[in-house]
């Protein structure tokens, strides 16, 4: 059905989207970059910071883009990244 | 029979031709002196009798022919009347009924290609008609009886498109007892009708009447439903089509119970196309609640799992039935069918190309399709007509008609047929739910032509819907309130208006599917100038395609409402059913004739045959023809350098006789045109139907395909002193015989080269690609050629005669 779609869907606000909280344990990271490479929403990027282990750990670009798929946790060889659902208090 | 012809004919074998010149009321007689034409015909060789009458195709006309055949022992019949594309079958049948083989009949087209295109020059038209009769008589004298071979028809049908038309056609055929394959591109059948809220003029709920039909299709034992699938290849011919369908993976198996658990966990969202983007869907989704099949589908373009890497397994975990399968691969399904119904539907016009209406810029300007989703209880707003800027119910609403219809500006000159009544229905729906709403309809003409339409229109007027004639020139938005000012002229009261409303609904027109070209190419169809598929005859064969065994249903053929789509679909199913019930089809006896003595087994014919119907037997050093596979284009006969091949009913001898008849008198003033039956000849007919006038100097010789036109025919025309020659065929890629016209091009180019080398003006040989719908293209080509012909000098004619004199040799 090739119709040009340009509007913001009317019910977009109604969709419950869980918000993510991404935790990176920088000291455990060895800078392999798997989490950055495999994130389907491109939420992570390499930071300029250098850790004690002499690597650039990942940095969150836009937390709101994260869909909590948990793949970063699954591919991280060093258990250095995990995501939890943000507990929704008022106004979140 | 061939051998007998060579020897001295016996009395019983003497050729006795009967010529019948039809007045066609005044259609011919108004512009051609038919009596004179008949008198002239009597003087032609082999003509035993010639008569003119008012309507030769009428019962009396046919009886006259039948009686004459019996009484005067006529063994050839020529009718000079309309196009053979119209009435050749009628007269052939009459001949057969009188015991004359139908291949002994010939027609002269003095209506579409003479009287209708030379309305203002009776003398020239009469002279041309005489010439056309002479050409037909010359061919008729050489006609040979032939027997047609019968081919079985596969009793299965392919329906392309699962909108209401495709659904109806599939159900009708399946109920008759035929196996049907219904192919739909989208994940669900239902088409446009499923998107609509209510239908006019009865105001019944669209999905409530369509839903049961859809579900019948899903359960019918004779229907195999292929959704999310596209036809990618079709080969074959009437009764024996071989189609390839690409079935794209859904990534959800039929174990899916549509329980919704997966949707709730899917983290990805996108606008739902079914709701015209007004509502969201997830990567795993069903386009709408009543979808058939109800199995969900995963949109791989937005799903997080790409290239086999399972990043997100939420849906897999949520699905208790384990119906999700990311390993699914596309499948190519091969189908053997006897008939094809094209029900591919229409697209809607995109109004953002008209900047004065501000669609795409002003949130409260919506299209009629968006309106349908908003007013629908199952739609994104739960049936509340809200305006997008603030989600409030509008108090003043304006409809604008003919957006993308009947205007040069939008490039769509045709009326889209459904928008007037759709708006009237929509205005009544608003009135019913929110009676206080002020409703304006800005229109050009209101077309309420169908059963019950006028009543609905009157009801809308009584309900205080205000109809204003004259479309707004401009819509201006109030930036604060997002209200809209409509500025234009009321052409009835001749005064300017400036109306302020909360929301504007653009009543958008229908347009041909963007991918019509693909179906056109796959099935070798023609399209009209508007871009919709062209029927074989606008009155008598309105659902048949020119290609045998293919039929149209719904908006693919032209914009139409639901009722007309359903009517046409049932008609198409009946037409396809007739073929399949017969179970066999006769193949025209226009296959090649092979002379083994002349054949040098060079294999050129094998190479050019588009159907691989000729094979080279290396051992016997001769070719073999598979008649059943031959479609009768005649390209092999044109290619053979040794004259070992010719085509039944279009023999070299017959075509030479036609050329000789054209060039017998005043050759230097004439345009000899060789036209293929499907595009060029049909295009010339179309010019006639539309009364497009062009110079009377042209004489058309019809072959089935331009690929039949051997260089020796063109050379013969020049050798006989013709001023100018036209070779005309289908557009490259549209050839009715796959690619036979590429050989036409090759041959013409070779001749151009030769003409150049021999110092001839190569402008005297013209090549035209045209379609059956491009009458004006044909007419203007003839005008252009007339100008060239007038400049050709007697010396040039003589030079060409010398260069090509070898072509004058016997057959």
Distance from CA of B370 to the nearest CA of A (A): 10
Whether B280 and A11 lie within 8 Å, measured CB to CB: yes
Burial class (CB in 10 A: 0-12, 13-18, 19+), B762: middle
Alpha carbon distance B136, B654 (integer Å): 10
User: Is the distance from CB of A20 to CB of B391 less than 8 angstroms?
Assistant: no
Name the residue of chain A whose CA is nearest to B271's CA.
Answer: A9
Q: What is the pLDDT, as a whole number, of residue B4?
A: 42
B260 CB within 8 Å of a chain A CB = no
End-to-end CA distance of chain A, in Å?
37
Nearest-Cα distance to chain A for B425, in Å, is: 23
Chain A residue closest to B345 (CA)? Answer: A1
Sheet with B698-703, side-by-side order of all strands: B698-703, B671-676, B724-729, B765-769
Residues paired with B627 in a beta bridge: none
Chain A residues closer than 8 Å to B388 by CB: 7, 10
Residue B306 forms contact with A (CB below 8 Å): yes
Whether B309 sits inside 8 A of A7 (CB atoms) is no
User: Three-class SS of residue B131?
Assistant: helix
A14, closest residue in chain B (CA to CA): B280
**Model confidence over B388-403: pLDDT tens digits?**
999 999 999 999 999 9
pLDDT band for position A17 (50/70/90)? confident
Interface touch A1/B352, C-beta < 8 Å: no
Give the pLDDT band (50/70/90) at residue B536.
Answer: confident
Determine whether the interchain pair B312/A40 forms a contact, defined as Cβ–Cβ distance below 8 Å: yes
* Of B158, B166, B157, the residue nearest B513 (C-alpha): B166
Q: Dihedrals φ, ψ of B360, to 5°? A: 95, -10
- Between B437 and B527, the higher pLDDT residue: B437
| Angle at B589 (CA atoms; ends B583, B591), nearest 5 degrees | 115
- Residue A85 in this model has a pLDDT that exceeds 50: yes
Residues in B touching A11 (Cβ below 8 Å): 279-280, 380
pLDDT digits (tens, 9 = 90+) for B694-716: 999 999 999 999 999 999 999 99
Average pLDDT, integer, range B165-186:
98
Say whether pLDDT at B3 is over 50: no
Tokens of A5: 């779609």
Would you give the distance in Å from CA B458 to the centre of its chain? 37
Q: Do A38 and B311 touch (CB under 8 A)?
A: yes
C-alpha torsion angle, residues B467, B468, B470, B476 (rounded to 10): -110
CA distance linking residue B297 with residue B197, whole number of Å: 24
Query: For residue B274, is the peptide bond before it cis, meaning its omega torsion is within 30 degrees of 0?
Result: no
Instruction: Determine contact: B268 vs chain A, CB below 8 A.
Output: yes
> Cis omega (within 30 of 0) on the bond before B293?
yes
- Residue of B311, B347, B385, B555 to mutate for A, most A C-beta atoms under 10 A: B311
pLDDT higher than 80, residue B12: no
Check B381 against A10: CB less than 8 A apart.
Answer: yes
Give the A-side interface with B, CB within 8 Å.
1-7, 9-12, 15, 17-18, 38, 40-41, 67-71
Q: Where are the domains of chain B?
A: 15-148, 149-248+330-345+522-584, 249-327, 348-511, 592-635+638-645, 650-811
Which chain B residues touch A38 with a CB distance below 8 Å? 309, 311
Q: What is the pLDDT of residue B5?
A: 46
Determine whether the interchain pair B312/A2 forms a contact, defined as Cβ–Cβ distance below 8 Å.
Answer: no
Token duo for residue B505: 């609904």
Kindly state the helix (H) or strand (E) to which residue B468 belongs, with its residue range.
strand B466-469
Q: Do B272 and A1 touch (CB under 8 A)?
A: no
Nearest to A6 among B272, B348, B360 (CB): B360
Average of pLDDT values for B76-98?
Answer: 96
B226-263 residues labelled b (16+ CB within 10 A) or e (exposed): bbbbbbeebebbbbbbebebbbbbbbbeeebebeeebb
Q: For residues B781-808, give the mean pLDDT.
A: 94
Q: Are B34 and B23 in contact (CB under 8 A)?
A: yes
In angstroms, the CA B351 to CA B371 distance is: 14
pLDDT digits (tens, 9 = 90+) for B728-760: 999 987 788 888 999 999 999 999 999 999 999
Note the pLDDT of residue A2. Answer: 55
* B361–A contact, CB cutoff 8 A: no
DSSP letters spanning B165-229: HHHHHHHHHHHHT-EEEEE-SSSSS-HHHHH-SB-TTT--BHHHHHHHHHHHHHH-TTEEEE-SE
Q: How far apart, in whole angstroms, are the C-alpha atoms of residue B693 and residue B363?
A: 50
Could you tell me if B111 and B28 are in contact, meaning their C-beta atoms sit under 8 angstroms apart?
yes
Q: What is the pLDDT of residue B9?
A: 54
The answer on pLDDT for A14 being more than 90 is: no
Task: Name the closest residue on chain A to residue B388, using Cα atoms.
Answer: A10
Question: To the nearest whole angstrom, how far is the Cα of A84 from the nearest Cα of chain B?
Answer: 14
- Does B6 have pLDDT greater than 70? no
Q: Would the CB atoms of A2 and B268 count as touching at under 8 Å?
A: no
Residue length of chain B:
811
- The reply to whether B347 touches chain A by the CB within 8 Å rule is yes
Phi then psi for B259, rounded to 5 degrees?
-85, -15
- Could you give the count of Cα atoms lying within 13 Å of B372 in the half-sphere of its Cβ? 27
Task: Supply φ then ψ for residue B271, to 5 degrees.
Answer: -65, 140
Cα distances from B415 to residues B403, B405, B541, in angstroms, run 10, 5, 22
| pLDDT tops 80 at residue A27 | yes
pLDDT at B66: 97
* Partner-chain contact A1 B309, CB within 8 Å: no
Residue B62: helix, strand or coil by DSSP? Answer: helix
Which fold, B592-635+638-645? Answer: Alpha-Beta Plaits (3.30.70)
Of A4, A6, A68, the CB nearest to B267: A68
Q: Using CA atoms, how far apart are residues B298 and B325, in angstroms rounded to an integer?
A: 10
pLDDT tops 60 at residue B2: no
Interface A-B: count of C-beta contacts within 8 A: 74
A2 exposure class (CB count in 10 Å sphere: 0-12, 13-18, 19+): exposed
Asked if A17's CB is within 8 angstroms of B278's CB, the reply is: no
Top residue of B267, B268, B380 to mutate, by most chain A CBs within 10 Å, is B267
| Cβ within 8 Å of residue B410, ≥6 positions away | B349, B353, B354, B403, B404, B509
Helices and strands in chain A: count of H runs, count of E runs: 2, 4
Among A5, A8, A10, which would you mutate to test the B interface (most chain B Cβ atoms within 10 Å of its Cβ)?
A10
Q: B281 vs A42, B196, B629, CA distance in Å?
A: 21, 19, 49
Which of chain A's residues have a Cβ under 8 Å away from the Cβ of B269? 12, 15, 17
Are A2 and B271 a contacting pair at CB < 8 A?
no
**What's the token pair of residue B241?**
């089509």
Pairwise CB contact (< 8 Å): A5 & B273 = yes
> Which long-range contacts link B799-805 to residues 24+ away (Cβ below 8 Å)?
B799/B758, B799/B759, B799/B760, B800/B718, B800/B719, B800/B721, B800/B760, B800/B764, B801/B718, B801/B719, B801/B720, B801/B721, B803/B718, B803/B754, B803/B755, B803/B758, B803/B760, B804/B715, B804/B716, B804/B718, B804/B719, B805/B719
Contacts of B352 in chain A (CB under 8 A): 4, 6
For chain A, the C-alpha Rg in angstroms (whole number) is 16
Domain A28-85, architecture per CATH: 2-Layer Sandwich (3.30)
B810 to B217, B642, B805, B806: CA distances (angstroms): 62, 13, 12, 10
Show which of residues 489-548 on chain B sit within 8 Å of chain A, judged by CB atoms: 514
Q: In chain B, positions 181-240, which contact chain A (CB-CB < 8 Å)? A: 186
**CB spacing of B380 vs A2 below 8 angstroms:** no
Q: What is the pLDDT of residue B808?
A: 80
CB of B348 less than 8 A from some CB of A? yes
Q: Exposure string (b/e) for B13-51, b if CB count within 10 Å is 16 or more?
A: eebbbbbbbbbbeebbbebbbbeebbebbeebeebbbbb
Token reading at A11: 């019910």
Task: Match 């350098």 to its residue by tokens.
Answer: B641
Q: Give tens-digit pLDDT for B46-74.
A: 999 999 999 999 999 999 999 999 999 99
Domain residue spans of chain A = 28-85
pLDDT, position B418: 97
Question: Is residue B811 over pLDDT 60?
Answer: no
- Separation of alpha carbons B349 and B513, rounded Å: 10
Contact A10/B391, CB-based, under 8 Å?
Answer: yes
Q: Which of B268, B271, B386 sits opposite A9 (nearest CB)?
A: B271
> B306 forms bridges with which residues in the sheet?
B309
In the three-class reduction of DSSP (H, G, I as helix; E, B as strand; rest coil), residue A44 is classed as: strand
Angle value at C-alpha B302, between B301 and B305, nearest 5 degrees? 90
* Closest chain B residue by Cα to residue A1: B273
Average pLDDT of every residue of chain B: 94
Q: Could you tell me if B271 lies within 8 Å of chain A, comparing CB atoms? A: yes
Spell out which residues of chain A touch residue B347, defining contact as CB-CB under 8 Å. 2-3
Alpha helices in B220-357 (DSSP H): 261-265, 314-318
User: Is the CATH code 3.30.470.10 the one for domain B149-248+330-345+522-584?
Assistant: no
B279 interface with A at CB cutoff 8 Å:
yes
Q: Which of B341, B694, B771 minimizes the C-alpha distance to B529?
A: B771
Phi, psi of B741 (to 5 degrees): -75, -10
pTM passes above 0.80: yes
What is the band of B726 on the pLDDT scale with cuts at 50, 70, 90? very high
Looking up tokens 């991280």 gives: A76
Which of B189, B280, B393 is the best mutation test for A, with the most CBs of A within 10 A? B280
Domains B149-248+330-345+522-584 and B348-511 share a fold: yes
> Chain centroid to CA B528: how far?
7
Distances (CA, A) of B13 to B7, B16, B94, B144, B655: 11, 9, 21, 12, 22
Nearest to B768 by CA among B671, B644, B628: B671
| Whether pLDDT at B807 is above 80 | no
Q: Which residue has the tokens 């969150």?
A: A60
CATH 3.40.50.450 assigned to B348-511: no
Q: Categorize the per-residue pLDDT at B306 as very low, low, confident or very high, splitting at 50, 70 and 90.
A: confident
- Residues B311-345: pLDDT tens digits? 999 999 999 999 999 999 999 999 999 999 999 99
ipTM metric: 0.88
% of chain B surpassing 90 pLDDT: 88
- Count the neighbouring beta carbons within 10 Å of the beta carbon of residue B779: 22
- The answer to whether A20 touches A79, Cβ cutoff 8 Å, is no
- Does B311 contact chain A (CB < 8 Å)? yes
Residue A3: its chain B contacts at CB < 8 A?
273, 276-277, 347-348, 350, 369
Q: Which fold has domain B15-148?
A: Rossmann fold (3.40.50)
Pick the CATH number of B650-811 from 3.40.50, 3.10.20, 3.30.1380, 1.20.1070: 3.40.50
Over residues B216-237, mean pLDDT: 95
- Helices B84-97 and B59-71: crossing angle in degrees, nearest 10, is 50
**Can you say whether residue B25 is alpha, beta or left, with left for phi > 0 and alpha for psi between -120 and 50 degrees?**
left
Give dist(CA B536, CA B525) in Å, integer. Answer: 10
State how far residue A63 is from chain B, nearest Cα, in angstroms.
14
């Amino acid at each position: 059905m090739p119709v040009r779609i340009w509007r913001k869907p009317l019910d977009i606000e109604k969709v419950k989207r869980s918000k993510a909280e991404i935790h990176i344990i920088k000291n455990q990271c060895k800078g392999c970059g798997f989490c950055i490479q495999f994130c389907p929403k491109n939420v992570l990027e390499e930071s300029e910071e250098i850790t004690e282990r002499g690597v650039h750990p990942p940095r969150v670009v836009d937390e709101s883009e994260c869909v909590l798929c948990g793949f970063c946790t699954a591919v991280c060889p060093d258990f250095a990244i995990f995501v939890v659902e943000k507990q929704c208090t008022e106004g979140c | 029979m061939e051998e007998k012809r060579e020897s001295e004919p016996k009395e019983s074998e003497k050729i006795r031709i009967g010529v019948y010149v039809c007045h066609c009321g005044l259609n011919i007689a108004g512009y051609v002196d038919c009596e004179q034409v008949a008198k002239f015909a009597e003087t032609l060789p082999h003509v035993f009798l010639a008569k003119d009458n008012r309507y030769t195709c009428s019962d009396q006309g046919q009886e006259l022919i039948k009686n004459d055949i019996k009484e005067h022992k006529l063994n050839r019949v020529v009718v000079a009347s309309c196009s053979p594309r119209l009435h050749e079958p009628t007269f052939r049948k009459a001949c057969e009924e009188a015991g004359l083989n139908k291949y002994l009949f010939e027609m002269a087209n003095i209506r579409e290609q003479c009287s209708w295109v030379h309305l203002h020059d009776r003398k020239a038209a009469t002279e041309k008609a005489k010439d056309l009769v002479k050409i037909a008589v010359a061919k008729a004298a050489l006609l040979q009886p032939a027997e047609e071979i019968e081919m079985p028809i596969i009793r299965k049908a392919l329906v392309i498109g699962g909108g209401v038309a495709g659904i109806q056609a599939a159900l009708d055929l399946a109920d008759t007892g035929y196996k049907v394959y219904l192919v739909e591109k989208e994940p669900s059948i239902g088409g446009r009708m499923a998107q609509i809220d209510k239908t006019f003029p009865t105001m019944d709920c669209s999905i409530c009447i369509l839903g049961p039909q859809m579900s019948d299709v899903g359960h019918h034992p004779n229907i195999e439903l292929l959704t999310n699938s596209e036809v990618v290849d079709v080969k074959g011919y009437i009764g024996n089509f071989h189609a390839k369908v690409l079935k794209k993976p859904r990534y959800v198996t039929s174990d899916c119970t549509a329980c919704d658990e997966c949707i709730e966990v899917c983290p990805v969202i996108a606008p739902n196309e079914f709701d015209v983007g007004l509502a969201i869907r997830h990567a795993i989704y069903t386009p709408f609640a009543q979808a058939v099949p109800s199995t969900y589908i995963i949109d791989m373009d937005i799903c997080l799992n790409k290239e086999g890497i399972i990043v997100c397994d939420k849906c897999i975990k949520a699905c208790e039935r384990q119906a999700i399968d990311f390993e699914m691969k596309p499948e190519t399904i091969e189908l053997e069918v006897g008939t094809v119904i094209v029900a591919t539907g229409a697209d809607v016009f995109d109004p953002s190309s008209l900047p004065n209406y501000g669609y795409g810029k002003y949130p409260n300007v919506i299209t009629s399709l968006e309106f349908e989703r908003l007013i629908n209880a199952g739609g994104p707003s739960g049936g509340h007509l809200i305006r997008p800027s603030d989600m409030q119910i509008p108090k003043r609403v304006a409809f604008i008609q003919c957006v993308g219809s009947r205007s040069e500006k939008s490039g769509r000159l045709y009326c889209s047929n459904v928008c007037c009544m759709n708006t009237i229905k929509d205005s009544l729906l608003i009135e019913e739910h929110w009676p206080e709403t002020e409703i304006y309809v800005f229109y050009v003409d209101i077309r309420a032509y169908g059963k019950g339409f006028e009543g609905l229109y009157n009801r809308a007027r009584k309900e205080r819907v205000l109809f204003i004639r004259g479309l707004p020139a401009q819509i201006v938005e109030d930036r604060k309130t997002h209200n809209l000012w409509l500025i234009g002229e009321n052409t009835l009261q001749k005064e300017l208006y400036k109306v302020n409303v909360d929301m504007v609904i653009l009543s958008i027109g229908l347009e041909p599917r963007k991918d019509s070209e693909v179906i056109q190419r796959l099935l070798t169809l023609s399209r009209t100038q508007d871009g919709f598929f062209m029927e074989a005859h606008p009155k008598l064969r309105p659902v048949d395609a020119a290609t045998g065994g293919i039929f149209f249903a719904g908006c693919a053929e032209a914009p139409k409402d639901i009722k007309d789509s359903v009517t046409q679909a049932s008609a198409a199913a009946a037409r396809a059913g007739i073929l399949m019930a017969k179970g066999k089809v006769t193949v025209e006896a226009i296959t090649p004739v092979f002379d083994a003595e002349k054949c040098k087994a060079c294999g050129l014919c094998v190479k050019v045959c588009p159907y691989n119907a000729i094979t080279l037997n290396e051992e016997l050093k001769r070719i073999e023809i598979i008649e059943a596979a031959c479609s009768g284009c005649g390209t092999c006969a044109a290619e053979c350098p040794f004259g070992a091949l010719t085509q039944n009913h279009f023999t070299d001898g017959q075509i030479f006789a036609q050329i000789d008849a054209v060039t017998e008198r005043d050759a230097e003033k004439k345009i000899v045109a060789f036209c293929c039956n499907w595009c060029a000849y049909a295009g010339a007919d179309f010019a006639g139907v539309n009364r497009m006038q062009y110079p009377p100097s042209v004489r058309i010789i019809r072959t089935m395909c331009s690929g039949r036109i051997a260089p020796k025919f063109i050379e013969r025309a020049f050798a006989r002193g013709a001023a100018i020659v036209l070779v005309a065929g289908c557009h490259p890629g549209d050839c009715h015989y796959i690619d036979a016209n590429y050989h036409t091009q090759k041959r013409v180019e070779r001749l151009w080269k030769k003409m150049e080398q021999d110092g001839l003006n190569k402008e005297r040989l013209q090549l035209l690609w045209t379609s059956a719908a491009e009458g004006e293209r044909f007419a203007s080509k003839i005008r252009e050629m007339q100008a060239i012909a007038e400049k050709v000098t007697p010396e040039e004619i003589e030079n060409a005669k010398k260069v090509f004199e070898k072509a004058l040799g016997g057959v």
